[in-house]
Amino acid sequence: MMRLVLALVCVAGTAAAQEPPYADTATEVCLNRANGYAAQLACVGRSADMCIATPAGGSTVGTGYCLDRERDFWDRLLNDHYQATLSQAVEYDAELDAMSARTANIPRQAGALREMQRRWIGFRDAACAYAASQWGGGTGAGPAALDCLMRQTARQALALRLWAR
């Protein structure tokens, strides 16, 4: 799956002179106004859609560029929320370790979080390979994979955001 993404990024890079205008603003504004998880999910794709609606964003390469840029936005949020959640988990685990032997059988959070994230990456890659396969090798496979990566990354970022206190 990662090879497919790298190939798409290379193709998008060749069209750098024709890059569509992209800004994270529409997605950020939507998230700031969203009340709750479902409303936040409705924000996914806002900035990419605005970018795709431009003349340069309407091509297959342009669409891929727009989707990949918003995927980058969600990936940054995912990493921020993962780090915040991991810090909390490490702190919680340290508190348990400092307690008596009665806490020995309580599951530790940091390891569980790391394992969850590793398994999520495998799920994301498999889901997006499947999304691309729906295009039978056609030119829509790249944008389909990037749309999937954007949406899966956003879902995970928002899930981690719920856990980060």
Residue pLDDT, tens place only, 50-80: 999 999 999 999 999 999 999 999 999 999 9
Contact 142, 4 (CB under 8 A): yes
* Structural domain total, the chain: 1
Query: In 10 A of CB 118, how many CB atoms?
Result: 9
Helices and strands in the chain: count of H runs, count of E runs: 7, 0
Instruction: For residue 46, name the pLDDT band (cuts at 50, 70, 90).
Output: very high
Residue 144 domain boundaries? 2-163
Residue pLDDT, tens place only, 74-108: 999 999 999 999 999 999 999 888 887 677 788 89
Residue 106 backbone zone (phi > 0: left; psi -120 to 50: alpha; other: beta): beta
Residue pLDDT, tens place only, 104-153: 788 899 999 999 999 999 999 999 999 999 999 899 999 999 999 999 99
Residues 6 or more apart whose CB falls under 8 angstroms from that of 137 comprise: none
Give which of 111, 115, 109, 104 is closest to 93, Cα–Cα: 109
Q: Does 12 have pLDDT greater than 50?
A: no
What pTM did the predictor assign?
0.84
pLDDT value, residue 158: 97
Q: Cα separation of 96 and 99, whole Å?
A: 5
Q: Which two tokens stand for residue 61?
A: 């390469």
Length of the chain measured in residues: 165
